[in-house]
Amino acid sequence: MTPAVVGEVMALAMFAGVFLVLMAGFPVAFSIGGISVLFAGAGSLLGAFDWPMMAGTAGRMLDAVVSDTLVSVPLFVFMGVVLERSRIAEDLLMTMGQAFGKLSGGLGISVIVVGALLAASTGIVGATVVSMGLISYPAMMRANYDKRLASGIITASGTLAQLIPPSTVLILIGTLLQNANTQASLAKGDFAATPVTVTDLFIGAIIPGLVLVAAFIVFTIAVAVLQPQRCPPIEMSDHERATLGRRMLRVMLPPLLLIVAVLGAILSGLATATESAAVGAVGASLLAILRRTMTRPMLREVCQGTLKLSVMIYVIMFGATIFSLVFRGFGGEKVAEDVLRALPGGAYGALGATLALMFVLGFFIDTFEIIFIVVPIFGPVLIKLGIDPLWLGVLMGVVLQTSYLTPPFGFAIFYLQGVTKDLPIGTIYRGVVPFVFLQVVVLLLVMALPWLATWLPRALQ
């Protein structure tokens, strides 16, 4: 075989090898980077890989560390952890649940609404699901909710933090799509292509995110109408009913102000995503101080939690940087392009196949791993085929949100089971199925109506 053919075979083997190692349970970042280095060494010995290409690895890592866009990741993480520890979500949930009064399913609807508000405040799925599990599940059990329905509502609402901005997932997708868009534009000879930014992706995800929230609420209302015994109304004392309006204002106003400060600055063009992240971090800290929950031990825990999650993201990104470099050095990008071009349906067939691959991978590996492996490989090819990068980024966000719910390794499922001691894993699996179906329906809707993702960013330009 010629070196080019050997390289293409090794690119496919490396792609498969990474997934096998990840599913075997090895550490993510070191698996991706380690496998890539081993294949690069073997390819160099076989004459299929130019080893001096590895000299560019350090520069790429440095670019990632000093990237203005990626600075927003630890800031949004800090904001989310502060809000989780300040008990704002607990007050929101209980007060909104009472606001629905005697309506069947009212508490479930309030869980979805609070999940959306937390998503627009934190951007972290783990923090949202854990918070909702600790607060919502006991309340729903006291109200005699069906365990299967309760677990589905809580996990699905928690995953809204993946799609509704500010979202760390959208930040990473947007950063990688910026590079993919540049590569595709240069390959087509377009040296003045319109860039796609994280801010554009944030704005583009707002309408699909709200559509998904509406779908969850409609489903809960349908269950309340058809099977009211699964979601009975909650009881409220005369005192609670008399003070409801005042309490609603007190618990709703602070998080709404924070959402307006963060998303409003982005939508109005007054601030970039990174600058808004700084506003959010300061705003969340002020809310915690005003609630007198910001103690020195809490601040230490918040900083440690922020450090751990941020470092995990960066280390995975370093490993993925090596993987992308080696894969491209083997000619893997050409293999990916040839495969996608050969699929029936042209650009839309290639798009559907890529999203289907991401959906299937979501059953087995983490969202961040999927982003750092799939987007650099298939993103440039899809953009060269004519797919709008903004539309592509939002579609990927919807698919990756679903990955948090799909068994056997849906992380939202394990987050919920970890904070509820009497909830069998099988019950949660059955509870999430309708919500996975709803997410697939919304995905197909955004695929059929691209303007759902592209209209608002372009209207605000």
Our measurement of the distance from residue 123's CA atom to the centroid of its chain's CA atoms, rounded to an integer in Å, reads: 8
329 confidence band (pLDDT: 50, 70, 90): confident
Q: How far is CA 299 from CA 83, 144, 288, 293, 305, in A?
A: 12, 36, 10, 10, 10
d(CA 40, CA 51): 7
* Dihedral angle computed from the Cα positions of residues 420, 424, 427 and 431, in that order, rounded to the nearest 10 degrees: 30
Rounded to the nearest integer, the mean pLDDT of the chain is 81
Q: Does residue 373 or residue 365 have the better pLDDT?
A: 373
Q: How many domains does the chain have?
A: 1
- Per-residue model confidence (pLDDT) at position 219: 95
Q: Percent of the chain scored above 90 by pLDDT?
A: 14
Count CB-CB contacts under 10 A for residue 431.
Answer: 24
- Per-residue model confidence (pLDDT) at position 191: 60
Helix (H, G, I), strand (E, B) or coil at 299: helix
- Per-residue model confidence (pLDDT) at position 123: 58
Q: What is the 3-state secondary structure (H, E, C) of 37-98?
A: HHHHHHHHHCCCCCHHHHHHHHHHHHHHHCCCCCCHHHHHHHHHHHHHHCCHHHHHHHHHHH
pLDDT in tens, 314-324: 777 787 778 87
- As a whole number, mean pLDDT of residues 354-375 equals 81
- Per-residue model confidence (pLDDT) at position 391: 93
pLDDT at 25 over 70: no
- As a whole number, mean pLDDT of residues 140-150 equals 86
d(CA 28, CA 18): 9
Count CB-CB contacts under 10 A for residue 21.
Answer: 17
- Per-residue model confidence (pLDDT) at position 409: 64
- Per-residue model confidence (pLDDT) at position 101: 57
d(CA 326, CA 101): 59
DSSP 422: T
Q: Percent of the chain scored above 70 by pLDDT?
A: 88
- As a whole number, mean pLDDT of residues 249-271 equals 78
Whether this prediction's pTM lies above 0.85 is answered by no
Our measurement of the distance from residue 41's CA atom to the centroid of its chain's CA atoms, rounded to an integer in Å, reads: 34
b/e code 245-265 from CB counts within 10 Å (16+ = b): eebeeebbebbeebbeebbeb
d(CA 130, CA 420): 10
- As a whole number, mean pLDDT of residues 95-118 equals 78
Q: Does residue 408 or residue 362 have the better pLDDT?
A: 362
pLDDT in tens, 405-452: 887 667 777 777 776 767 787 888 888 999 999 999 999 999 999 999
Token pair, residue 334, equals 């050409």
d(CA 281, CA 420): 29
Our measurement of the distance from residue 124's CA atom to the centroid of its chain's CA atoms, rounded to an integer in Å, reads: 8
Helices (H), 159-267: 168-187, 198-226, 238-242, 244-267
Segment (H or E) for 349: helix 346-361
- Per-residue model confidence (pLDDT) at position 89: 66
* Dihedral angle computed from the Cα positions of residues 63, 312, 316 and 365, in that order, rounded to the nearest 10 degrees: -150
- As a whole number, mean pLDDT of residues 105-125 equals 77
Host domain of residue 187: 3-459
Top-confidence range, 18-32, 54-68, 204-218, 271-285: 204-218
pLDDT at 187 over 80: no
b/e code 112-136 from CB counts within 10 Å (16+ = b): bbbbbbbbbbbbbbbbbbbbbbebb
The total number of residues written for the chain in this structure: 461
355 confidence band (pLDDT: 50, 70, 90): very high
Helix (H, G, I), strand (E, B) or coil at 305: helix
pLDDT at 14 over 90: no
236 confidence band (pLDDT: 50, 70, 90): low
d(CA 77, CA 304): 11
Cα–Cα–Cα angle for 441, 372, 353, rounded to 5 degrees: 40
Token pair, residue 256, equals 């709404």
CB-based contact 267:203 (threshold 8 Å): yes
Residue 81 sits at φ, ψ, to 5 deg, of -70, -40
d(CA 415, CA 428): 11
DSSP 166: S
Q: How far is CA 211 from CA 137, 217, 425, 448, in A?
A: 24, 10, 28, 14
